[in-house]
Structures are given as C-alpha cells and as structure tokens.
Structure 1
Amino acid sequence: MANMMGTKKHLLPKAQRFSAGTLTEESALALLKKHARGKFAKSSTLRSAKRFIEQRAGGDRADSDILHHVGNLTLEELVTGRRPRIGLLIVEGDLTVKGRYEDSLDPESVVIVTGSLRARDVITTGFLEVHGDLVASQSILFLDNDACCEVFGDVSAPFVYTNYHAVKVHGGVKARLVTGDAKHIRSAQKHAFIEETDPRVREVLSPKLLKVFADEVFEDEEGEEADPEAPWIDAIDAEKLAAFIRRGQPALAQPAAPRRRKK
C-alpha cells in the first residue's frame, strides 16, 4: 500500500518522489522552506502545501504524490488530478508543457515553479506559485475561489479569464483579452480589462466558442436574440469554457490578416 503508484511509469521519472522513498516529510518541508516565496493571501499556498505533506506522511491522500524536480522540465501535458495524482510539485527551473497544464482543487494540488511556466493552455483551480513568468500561447483560465495563484513575473496569453480565483501578479498582465471577474486579479501594472457582458468580448471570441455559449449568453429572457448593441445579459459559463479549452481549441478568433496595399 505504501507504494501504490510505483507500478506505473511516472510522468517525471527523474524527480524525487515521496512514494519512492526519495523524499521524506522532513526533506519535503525543507524544500518548502527554501522555495516557497509567496506572501499572497497570507501564504495560503504554503499552508496548503504543509498540510498536504503532513496528511501524506500520516497515511492520508495515499493516491497523491510529492515530487521534486531539479532543472528545466519539458512535458507533453501535465494534469495534476490525473492518476498518478500530484499533490505537491516543486520544479527548480522552468516548466514547459507543450499542451495543457491543469492543476486541481479536488483533489487539491500545490505547484511551485522557481522559473517560468509556459504551456499552450493553463487551467488553474489549485494553488500555483510561479517565480518567473506565466505564459500560454492560447489561454489562461483562473477558476474557483478556494485556492490562489501568485506570479512574480508577467502573465502573458492571448486570452486571460478569471472566475472568483484570487491572482496576484507582481509584473503585468499582457493579453488581447482579459475578462471574467476583475476584482480577483491584481497586478503591479495596469492592464485593460473588459467585462464579460461587454459586446466587445463577443467580437473577439472564436466562432466555435460562440456556438458553445449561444443559448446561455446571447439570448434575452424571452428566448429572443439579444440586441447586438446591448450588453450581454448572462455571464460566461466557466465550466463550458474550460471544457472547450481542454479540447485544445483557441478561445479567440484569429486576427484578420492585414490587407496588402495596392501598388
């Protein structure tokens, strides 16, 4: 029972693991003391990580592991809630995910990256601390209100969406569209935020995503099509948005190619 995850090839074969006995409660706590820098939300990320280590050492959460990787790490995909589950991951270096990075709240996960985190898409509902930049080539979604994220560099992506998830950005937020819940994303530099009920949001979302949202977002109370000049009546469905992003789809329409000038 102590090594439930030992029979399956691990996603991070070079990492130290609690399940393999290469990490102990004491060494994991020492790593936290060395690498956890966050002060946001009264260090709830650190508290959650400590709580998980104590639970795991005490025999609870046996289906989730503690991992420590030294050096830059590149993965095809990282989903902490997928078996073998990851309860705590510390990467000393940059973490690059070619596809989707997704952490979880149920089961709860904590991820600390001492460099930058780059992915095609980022969906974070758990605790995430990034000491460099958080970068996505398509979308970043900050979802659910029981965890938080702290980024010491910049947050950069074409599309950034927040849904009651507390986010502290020490740098700037750089995106074509930042929408969702404005008050829960704080950055040291001002960034343009557009309310999700603003018609301008509809103009830049991809046609495929608009079809997903059509029934909830663009109809009035009588079921008639809403006036395109009027504000949206309903909010974006975060669960449908996340499901769309998980399929690897871009949330935004592709920018129109610039017209060539006639000679």
Structure 2
Amino acid sequence: MATLERLIPKARSFNAGSLTAETVLALLKKHVRGKFAQSSTLRSAKRFVEQRVASNRASGDILHHKGRLVLDELSLGRRMRIGLLLVEGDLVVKGRYEDSLDPESVVVVTGSLRAGEVITRGFLEVHGNLVAERSILFLDNDACCEVFGDVRAPFVYTNYHAVKVHGGVKARLVTGDAKHIRSTEKHTFIEETDRRVRDLLSPKLLKVFADELFEDEEGDEEDPDAPWIDAIDSEKLAAFVRRGQPALANTASSGS
C-alpha cells in the first residue's frame, strides 16, 4: 500500500515537519466556515491538533494540500491514518472516498468533492458541491456533514448522520433517515419501507437484503410476490457500495 507521501506527494504534513500546530490552527480559522451543530467540525479539528501535539508517536497525520487534488481512491482509516485533511481546491477521487469515525477524521474541502462513491461517517465540510457517480452514504450519528453547494448522486442514503445542505439534494432516490438530512431546497424523500425503494434498487443489492425483505401478511390486497424492505442494513449497504457496485437499477451518472 502506498505511503501518505506517495498518495498526496505535494501535501504539507505535520508528521513530516512541514506543518506546525500554529499553521494548522491558522488554516482552520481561515477556511472552516461551517456553523452546523455548533461548529462540531471546527471543534473536532482543533481537538485532533491538540491530541496530535500531545502525542509522542505518529498516531495520525495532518495534511494540507493547496490546489486541485486528484486521487484514485481515498480511505481515511487505520492503515494510512489521516486525522485531519484540508484541501484548498477541488478534491476528485476516481473511485471511493471514505472517511472514518473510529478513529475519528475531519476533512475540509474548499472546492467541490467528486468521487465514484462517498461513504462518510466522520466530519466532512465541503464548500462547493458533493457529487458521486454512484452513491453517497451518510452513516452513524456521532459526526456531521455540511455542504455549501448541492449534494448530487443517483442514490443518497442517510443513517442518523446529521447533514446540512445549503443547496439542493438531487438524486433519483433519497432514503434512510429523513430527519437528519436538511437542505435549503425541497427534495423527495422516500421511506425505506416504501415499495418504490425496492423497485429502484438494483437486483444485486436486493439479494444482499434478502433477510430484510418481507412478504405481505395473508389477506392483504397487495401482491404477495412483491416483498417490501423492513429496514436497510447500513453495514451490508456500505460493503456493497465499497465494491463499486451501483445501488440502483440502471443507474445514470449524476453529472458534474
């Protein structure tokens, strides 16, 4: 697996000594704009800087990249631990973008974030648009996401993850947890138990959800051969999306 230096060679790094705590705090003050959830993103970023300064070992890096950043894939986790990533410009990930909650990560993109698929559990702030070619999953309830432009993807799913969108949510299907995704523009949300969700999902994904499919009780007038989804298993869904599979049948691109 590539090192962080090879992954983002032009980034300044705290571990490498090209970033100081003072510089990072100044960058955060300059670039973090979010006010959602009482500025949780900024608080979490500052907390990570404090923890990193107090640690005698490289328990996670802080990276700052200036300019457009293009990567094949970006996964912030245990192997290549990035606790805080600040991109001044657009972040383009050809495959999967996935941030982390355990261990916690904070990502701030001053431009737009575009990826094949997005799985976010950590703190994410995007000043432009958040766009995925296939799917965007907002998972877990301990962090939040704020997008100042639009959220665009064929499939958008939320699971108790607080999301504030200053633009619109534009997707063929938005489902999961309606209470935790807020946007300035109205969007159509479909409850996961609605039959339309089953009809829109890809046959491959429906096979993954076989245990979550229920037939109508005897005596109901509905078609017994058209089972409905009781609840989407978010971990099964995330595993499916990680493989680069489209969640929807005949998924079309969301545009740029």
**TM-score between both structures, scaled by the size of structure 2:** 0.92
Q: Displacement of 1:106 after TM fit?
A: 0.4
| 1:90 partnered with 2:110 | no
Long gaps (5+) in structure 2: none
Distance 1:105 1:8, change over 3 A: closer
- The equivalent residue for 1:19 is 15
On the 8 A contact 1:55/1:61 being kept in 2, the answer is: no
On the 8 A contact 1:123/1:140 being kept in 2, the answer is: yes
Q: Displacement of 1:97 after TM fit?
A: 0.1
Distance 1:228 1:61, change over 3 A: farther
- The equivalent residue for 1:172 is 168
Q: Which runs of 4+ in 1 moved over 6 A?
A: none
- Bigger relative contact order, structure 1 or 2 (CA pairs below 8 A, ≥6 apart): 2
- The equivalent residue for 1:227 is 224
| 1:198 partnered with 2:198 | no
On the 8 A contact 2:78/2:103 being kept in 1, the answer is: no
Long gaps (5+) in structure 1: 1-5, 257-263
The DSSP-based 3-state class of the residue aligned with 2:224 is: coil
1:157-198 superposed Cα distances (whole Å, 9 cap, x missing partner): 000000000000000000000000000000000000000000
On the 8 A contact 1:109/1:126 being kept in 2, the answer is: yes
- The equivalent residue for 1:186 is 182
Matches within 5 A, 1:83-162: 83-162=79-158
The one-letter amino acid paired with 2:34 is: G
- The equivalent residue for 1:252 is 248
Q: Write the distance in 2 (CA, Å) between the matches of 1:8 and 1:189.
A: 38
Aligned pairs, how many?
A: 247
On the 8 A contact 2:96/2:242 being kept in 1, the answer is: yes
- The equivalent residue for 1:261 is none
On the 8 A contact 1:199/1:228 being kept in 2, the answer is: no
Q: Write the distance in 2 (CA, Å) between the matches of 1:255 and 1:62.
A: 41
On the 8 A contact 1:149/1:167 being kept in 2, the answer is: yes
| 1:33 partnered with 2:33 | no
- The equivalent residue for 1:260 is none
**TM-score between both structures, scaled by the size of structure 1:** 0.89
On the 8 A contact 1:63/1:84 being kept in 2, the answer is: no
The DSSP-based 3-state class of the residue aligned with 2:93 is: strand
On the 8 A contact 2:215/2:226 being kept in 1, the answer is: no
On the 8 A contact 2:134/2:251 being kept in 1, the answer is: no
CA RMSD of aligned residues (A): 2.1
- The equivalent residue for 1:56 is 52
The DSSP-based 3-state class of the residue aligned with 1:32 is: helix
Within the candidate set 41, 46, 63, 2:42 is matched to: 46
Q: Write the distance in 2 (CA, Å) between the matches of 1:204 and 1:151.
A: 26
Query: How many percent of aligned residue pairs carry the same amino acid?
Result: 77
1:51-106 superposed Cα distances (whole Å, 9 cap, x missing partner): 00000011167331000000000000000114221000000000000000000000
On the 8 A contact 2:109/2:125 being kept in 1, the answer is: yes
Q: Write the distance in 2 (CA, Å) between the matches of 1:67 and 1:228.
A: 52
Q: Write the distance in 2 (CA, Å) between the matches of 1:246 and 1:15.
A: 26
